[in-house]
Amino acid sequence: MSAVRPAWILTENNLLMKLKLYITGRDIRSEQAIVQIQRMCRTYLADQYELEVVDVAENPELAEADGILATPTLIRLEPLPAVRIVGDLSHEQDVLKQLEIQW
């Protein structure tokens, strides 16, 4: 089964979806969030995404700069407008809908 590509992806221009995932430590909730988002990206975005994982315990200045109040928080940086998803990321269809990824 091939991944469904969102309409905003222009392969020839290498347009990427840029995501930043904020977590706290390496507990089970953080690990689940990382695995879930990585799986969704591989499935629906193939190689057209960049995912940065930021541990707020190790990089509090980044969390403060982005106004992170709770984890996990997923931010779609590009394409604009930016989108934030705070909390449970396990509901795949909800996350895909908020990120505007067709499945």
- What is the tens place of the pLDDT at every residue in 7-27? 444 444 556 899 999 999 989
* CATH assignment at residue 67: 3.40.30.10
Q: How many residues in total does the chain contain? A: 103
Residue 8 lies in a domain: no
Beta strands per DSSP E along the chain: 17-23, 49-55, 73-78, 83-86
The domain tally of the chain equals 1
pTM equals 0.84
User: In this predicted model, what pLDDT tens digit does every residue of 30-74 receive, in sequence order?
Assistant: 999 999 999 999 999 988 999 999 999 999 999 999 999 999 999
Say if CB 59 and CB 20 are below 8 A apart. Answer: no
Range of the domain at 35: 15-99
